[in-house]
Homo-oligomer: A and B are copies of this chain.
């Protein structure tokens, strides 16, 4: 079928949008701004689809073409994002009497004005420098990691530090550079607040990790390792779980890719991918539940019909996005009640492995804490945050000048010893293990741990509210955990839709979102208590540990 060539010629025309620069009617001005922003949003959605296609179905020979397509789209998006008229309109709305706008409109203008400022703040030379550094630094990092020689990467890391400081100064000379960079990933967060959060967590975790290592209780978890699990059966199982959790196939797709991710083009077009390994059923399972959490957040934007094509309906921050994936992965997927839902499914498809097992066996196997790993990506929920704190402390030190680039390996190795009690063999397994700094992404790491903490606090709140309702005479019903055991995840999904997803990016920070939803800003002790209670039971730690704090 090749019909439609001519049709395209006609539909290519669109009426030009007149813009009257001076307009006292703010509602009209707001509407003009959102028309422009929606167009950018749709273009970004198209880039999302191109990325998904690249990861799933694109033929290998098309790689170069896809690169050019991405670059053409990036150019168009850049032009539209830095359009002078857009900047003027955003400025007018930024300084407008704020009572002329409603809460959602104010939040949108707040975020988009800042984004515009960032997009236009940097001189051309610096933008070019950063783009060049991205490629060069990535290549140097790959090479350095291959031969475990930090020295090969160090000059590029040094350039990233210098260029990032410049960038931060152009964007906001009155803030600490690290705090400016952090905004790209975690809106409204500061390093002072991070220091406070991470100090409390670090102190609590060092003790807990030591106690777990000292425990003589070793739950039998080995039975689930080894063996071979048909990946097609795993895929079908996980697809069913995703849909049970609430993934809406009419507004999204589930596919396979080498690196699982959740992306897509729009809240009505969420593309989630998973990966399964024959020798490890846990990775595919938890990965799928994790990505489903991201996907539910994206699909949750459909609840905001008036502004779902605008960033204000979108993810508040990387940390909040991660909180949605980790809430489903850890608070639900690794929980006891979930194993009651999961076990019969596993028994049905892998009877040899699971038929003689109890939900409790499965719970212990899913929550096995190995000896602390020196690799972040292989670490468990207890030690993971220590990996993040270590990276945070080093990147902050790089930017405030307290840690020179050449000292990174020594500082890294000494902190690994201090926080996790492990020795780093070489830089490839040490400070060169992550890609982030090779892309100059200072401020990215903390969002992983913030996500885990947000998740914990949100789940505790949901549990409390659902359980209170379950006991009230008029809304009597199963508790949240009973619902999870029954595979009725809609209760939790609806709670998140209503309390988190619907708020989109309206709150100015993760702390503000937490306060609105749970009554308190982020409380690290909620996370610590969760870990202590859980692992005290699993490893039969001294009762005193949890009561000490």
B-contacting residues of A (Cβ < 8 Å)?
A: 1-15, 39, 42-43, 45-47, 49-50, 53, 57-62, 64-66, 68-78, 81, 118-119, 124, 127-128, 130-131, 134, 184-185, 248-253, 255, 259-262, 265-266, 268-269, 294, 318, 321-322, 435-436, 439-441, 444
Contact = CB atoms under 8 A, between A and B. Distances in A.
The 7 A-B pairs at the shortest CB distance, nearest first, are namely A62-B269, A61-B251, A12-B78, A14-B75, A65-B266, A1-B261, A13-B127
Contacts of A259: 1
Contacts of A119: 9, 12
Main secondary structure of the interface of A (DSSP, over half): helix
A14 to B, nearest CB: 4
Nearest to A325: B2
Given A6-B441, A62-B269, 19 more contacts: A11-B131, A11-B134, A12-B77, A12-B81, A13-B78, A13-B131, A14-B74, A14-B75, A14-B78, A15-B124, A42-B72, A46-B72, A46-B73, A58-B269, A59-B253, A61-B268, A64-B268, A65-B265, A76-B76
A71 B318 contact: no
> Interface centre among A268, A318, A439, by most B CB within 10 Å?
A268
Nearest to A447: B2
5 contacts: A4-B439, A5-B185, A11-B70, A45-B69, A62-B251
A136 to B, nearest CB: 13
Contacts of A76: 76
Given A62-B268, A62-B269, A12 B69 contact: no
Contacts of A57: 57, 253, 255
Give the oligomeric copy count. 2
B131 A10 contact: yes
Nearest to A46: B69
A509 B194 CA distance: 69
Contacts of A69: 42, 45-46, 265
A260 B2 CA distance: 10
A314 to B, nearest CB: 12
Nearest to A321: B2
A62 B266 contact: yes
B68 A42 contact: yes
Contacts of A268: 59, 61-62, 64-65
A202 to B, nearest CB: 25
Contacts of A248: 61
A12 to B, nearest CB: 4
A11 B71 CA distance: 8
A500 B369 CA distance: 65
A3 B436 contact: yes
